[in-house]
A and B are shown apart, each in its own frame.
Chain A
């Protein structure tokens, strides 16, 4: 089955750290760019970060730059998001999302995980 399964969310104090993981299965993970997207409770979607197929090209939203690090292990079919210096406004469900494939098809953002909840609170 083609799927993405996130884990690693939880309650963390402001200033703390958390590492999210996303396990991919059912497709050739190393052929796809990958993204993280956040959704605060009752709010809309916010793009957080992306990584290319070999992990050497990364981009971040301004709110994440300098605090978050996206990475991947293609041997383990796993995507990561290391989050440091967490703030209350980082609270939300974090979705792992499949991006564009090296051939250009299928379209990006066609596969989403179920999300993992991160709560930053004292």
Chain B
């Protein structure tokens, strides 16, 4: 099973600041099938990025994804008030599909 380790666990930032979220895979992710989700309290997760760096429909361009080997990064260039939430990475290239434990982006 591919283990995804997200860091940091919590990131305290102010609106307008840049957020950088990390997701490290324990082994290679097939075809870079790595997705990022945003989840707010009481809501279902929302797909942000897929195949590591492609924005899902309707996702603003302040969100970007990148990778180097087995290290994946989600960057939010300038935090808007609605961006404060929990973010999860997921690999969907190898069964069982696995998620990271999440990074909470909170208002400083």
CB-based A-B contact count at 8 angstroms: 49
Contact A45 B57 (CB under 8 A): no
Interface class of chain B by DSSP: loop
Contact of A110 among B51, B57, B95, B97 (CB under 8 A): B57
Contact of B56 among A50, A61, A110 (CB under 8 A): A110
**Size category, B interface:** 20 to 34
Contact of A44 among B35, B88, B96 (CB under 8 A): B88
Interface positions, chain B 53-69, Cβ under 8 Å from A, are 54, 56-57
Report chain A residues within 8 Å CB of B44. 95, 112-115
Interface positions, chain A 95-122, Cβ under 8 Å from B, are 95, 106-110, 112-115
Contact B97 A47 (CB under 8 A): yes
Contact B99 A45 (CB under 8 A): yes
- Which chain B residue lies CB-closest to A48? B96
**Provided the pairs A44-B88, A95-B44 are in contact, do residues A107 and B99 lie with their beta carbons within 8 angstroms?**
no
**Provided the pairs A44-B101, A45-B99, A47-B97 are in contact, do residues A109 and B57 lie with their beta carbons within 8 angstroms?**
no
